[in-house]
Amino acid sequence: MVAFVIMAVWRHDAAAQDVFSGIDPDGFDHTVRPQDDLYRHVNGRWLLSTQIPADKSNYGSFTALDDTARENIRTIIEEATASPADANGQKVGDFYSSFMNEQLIDERGLTPVQPALDAIAGISSKKELFRHFGLLQTLGIGGPIGFFVSTDAKDSSRYLAAIVQSGTTLPDRDYYLEDDEKYLTARDALKNYIEKLFELAGLPDGKSAADQILQLETKLAKAQWSRTELRDAEKRYNKYAVSDLPKLTPNLPWPVFFDAVGVQDLAEINVLTPSFFEALEAIGNETKLSAAKAYLSFRVLDGVAPLLPKPFVDAHFELHRKQLAGVPEPKPRWKRGVDATSGGGAGDFGVLGEVVAQIYVAKHFRPEAKQRMDELVGNLMKAYEDSIGNLTWMTDDTKKKALQKLHKITPKIGYPTKWRDYSKLEIRADDLLGNMRRSALHEHQRMVDKLGKPVDRTEWGMTPQTVNAYYNPGKNEIVFPAAILQPPFFNVGADDAVNYGGIGAVIGHEISHGFDDQGSKYDGDGNLENWWTDEDRSAFEKLTGQLVAQYAGYEALPGKTLNGKLTLGENIADLSGMAIAYKAYIVSLNGRKAPVIDGHTGPQRYFLGWSQIWRRLYREEELVRRLVVDPHSPSAFRGNGPVTNLNAFYEAFDVKPGDKLYKPPGNRIQIW
């Protein structure tokens, strides 16, 4: 395996200062011209010489940084285990110990989960079944109804409870409904997995249960909205008085469900996918109670399998990682323990994510990085302001409202100003499943307690140790966790061109989400409200339609093209973020000519820096999965797609007709 490393490339300028270029020259393939394939030019040799680690479905810049963060977090956790500094440190050490104690887990076998299985076996009516859907929600185990609390999209000062379609095991509805060979194989693998779990748990009739559960999940999949439909912010806002839910689904006992999730007095709710719940009622009417109980038993076993003895862990890995993502080997147990403790990605806080975060930030986040980020964000905001002012397709009235929204964006950099409270969470060093159950209840209660209170605008949706960034339309905020503020995205000692092409374009990307096809439906206060004229929205949709067509024309695998509608928001953000970050870079030069470093001009280094952050290899199964579930385009198309629309790219590399990345000027798409 060749690790991703930013090479130190030095130059000596007139001021006698040594400066990193921030470019990794060892990754380049000079047999490929940047005018034909910028992504391969920058990353070709890296792609050929790198092997995906055996425990991963893909590998690239993000995963390399994530590996480094995980190693740092492991040290933090092991130090807390050996010598806890306080009560929170004790919890970190005790939880990690409970995860790593395989001998005790094996000795206890199915005992920790047996009460849940016995309770399901004792269900005697569909009303009790519906209550169980709610009870399992509080334990982090999903059924056909997903319940959550978030900012009210039409009143961002308050919280609103919501329900949404759920209940399927395979990655997307297409896996159940389409006859692609990969999907057929996945359905067979799901049946084998169900049968194996029933066998391991000593439950009868596993083969029959597998057939019934697949049939039931297929019905749920058929009723589900597509991921493209789910992106539509207006369609998924359907506020009901709870007392009016019988008008939608006359026979579903909602009071029982809401009582089970701990919101007995709930007055109103957003039903994101109304037609799904209408169909769920019909599905419930035609499903035998025995089949529904088998389904519920499977959901429990699937949810806790990674926490049970090795045969359960292996069965879970065989379906979820090997069959569906192509991963040949499971992660070492310490990695899984670190992820369970600290969180494993976007939206995943683990059991004690913000406890670990406080130590991580103190050890690994440099104050000067925040200062530089503040400067970069400020420059990007100024460039965006200038760009909005100069748009030719938008009228002045709408421009004013766009600028108002831009000026209200809140940047959050590094880590939150207020940490989560874990004082009421009980952790025992000898009770892994109990720890996970208590943690799920603790987080569920934290969420439910938000109802009736003002929106907490200090809260983060990621831990600082997450290698990612996000825009939240309901709070109109851009958030950059500490862990992403490292090379190749951001290097305090590197040349500005590469920083603007890396983290600068990421900042621009997140700002642009406030103005993509869905984010643009929210105003500066985070409310779902139309601030556009019909004329401007029509002009905008004409431009975004061209972007849909561009990406829908890319073939990621033989016969498998990108879904231009699903990926539209991210593609808008990539294109606009790059355009704005480049303007900000030029402004940062203050009229000076950028130096030539390692034979590359400043504008060239900007685009090279952009391309190198997207280097990534995928296993085929993982790429198949992402093409249907991921709103982001695969990395090669993120590296190449936006630049074909940017005049600055043509100027930087003298791109001409006949070059593969050339587009005639009239076909280049400029949105923001």
pLDDT at 18 (0 to 100): 55
pLDDT at 327 (0 to 100): 98
| Res. 180: pLDDT tops 50 | yes
| Res. 625: pLDDT tops 80 | yes
Select the more confidently predicted residue: 17 or 517.
517
Distance in Å from the first CA to the final CA of the chain: 40
Of 27, 123, 22, nearest in space to 617 by CA: 27
| Res. 2: pLDDT tops 80 | no
Select the more confidently predicted residue: 196 or 345.
196
CA atoms of 139 and 438, how far apart (whole Å):
8
In total, the chain counts a number of residues equal to 672
The full 3-state SS of 131-196, as one line of letters, equals HHHHHHHCCCCCCCEEEEEEEECCEEEEEEEEEEECCCCCCCCHHHHCCCHHHHHHHHHHHHHHHH
3 state DSSP class of 477: strand
CA atoms of 112 and 139, how far apart (whole Å):
14
CA atoms of 74 and 476, how far apart (whole Å):
34
Other beta carbons within 10 Å of 19:
17
CA atoms of 545 and 565, how far apart (whole Å):
9
| Res. 405: pLDDT tops 60 | yes
Each residue's pLDDT tens digit, 239-289: 999 999 999 999 999 999 999 999 999 999 999 999 999 999 999 999 999
The runs of H, that is alpha helices, within 83-139 are 87-100, 102-108, 114-121, 126-137
110-307 against 365-416+460-667: fold identical: no
Q: What percentage of residues in the chain have a pLDDT greater than 90?
A: 94
CA atoms of 411 and 463, how far apart (whole Å):
15
CA atoms of 606 and 625, how far apart (whole Å):
31
Amino acid at 601: T
pLDDT at 6 (0 to 100): 27
Q: Can you read off the two tokens belonging to residue 224?
A: 């589900």
CA atoms of 659 and 662, how far apart (whole Å):
5
Of 246, 260, 239, nearest in space to 163 by CA: 239
**For the chain, what are the domain ranges?**
110-307, 365-416+460-667
CB-based contacts of 46: which residues, under 8 Å, 6+ apart? 2, 4, 24, 26, 27, 615
The runs of H, that is alpha helices, within 50-86 are 61-82
For 69-101, b/e burial (b = at least 16 CB within 10 A) is bbebbbebbbebbeeeeeebbebbbbbbbbbbb
Mean pLDDT of 353-378: 94
Please say whether the beta carbons of 487 and 555 come within 8 A.
no
109 φψ region: left (φ > 0), alpha (ψ -120 to 50), beta (else): left
Q: CA separation (Å) from 571 to 295, 376, 384, 520, 645?
A: 38, 22, 17, 14, 12
Q: What percentage of residues in the chain have a pLDDT greater than 70?
A: 97
pLDDT at 14 (0 to 100): 32
Please say whether the beta carbons of 377 and 413 come within 8 A.
yes
Q: CA separation (Å) from 594 to 41, 500, 531, 587, 614?
A: 22, 13, 39, 11, 24
For 296-324, b/e burial (b = at least 16 CB within 10 A) is bbbbbbbbbbbbbbeebbebbbbbbbbbb
pLDDT at 345 (0 to 100): 74
**Which pLDDT band, with edges at 50, 70 and 90, does 344 fall under?**
confident
| Res. 16: pLDDT tops 50 | no
Each residue's pLDDT tens digit, 23-63: 999 999 999 999 999 999 999 999 999 999 999 999 999 99
Each residue's pLDDT tens digit, 59-110: 999 999 999 999 999 999 999 999 999 999 999 999 999 999 999 999 999 9
CB-based contacts of 362: which residues, under 8 Å, 6+ apart? none
pLDDT at 10 (0 to 100): 26
Longest dimension (CA), the chain: 83
**Which pLDDT band, with edges at 50, 70 and 90, does 367 fall under?**
confident
Mean pLDDT of 283-303: 97
Mean pLDDT of 561-574: 98
CA atoms of 313 and 305, how far apart (whole Å):
5
- Which secondary-structure segment (H or E) carries 290? helix 289-304
How many distinct helices (H) and strands (E) make up the chain? 29, 11
pLDDT at 494 (0 to 100): 86
- The superfamily (CATH) of domain 365-416+460-667 is Collagenase (Catalytic Domain) (3.40.390.10)
Across the chain, what does the average pLDDT equal? 95
The full 3-state SS of 556-584, as one line of letters, equals EECCEECCCCCCHHHHHHHHHHHHHHHHH
pTM for this prediction: 0.94
Other beta carbons within 10 Å of 645:
21
| Res. 432: pLDDT tops 70 | yes
pLDDT at 19 (0 to 100): 63
Please say whether the beta carbons of 478 and 526 come within 8 A.
no
pLDDT at 538 (0 to 100): 98
Mean pLDDT of 645-669: 98
pLDDT at 5 (0 to 100): 28
Residue 658 CA, distance from chain mean position = 38
CATH 3.40.50.11540 applies to domain 110-307: no
3 state DSSP class of 410: strand
pLDDT at 274 (0 to 100): 98
CB-based contacts of 62: which residues, under 8 Å, 6+ apart? 467, 468, 616
CB-based contacts of 640: which residues, under 8 Å, 6+ apart? 37, 38, 39, 611, 661
Q: In the block, which residue shows the tokens 């420059």?
A: 379
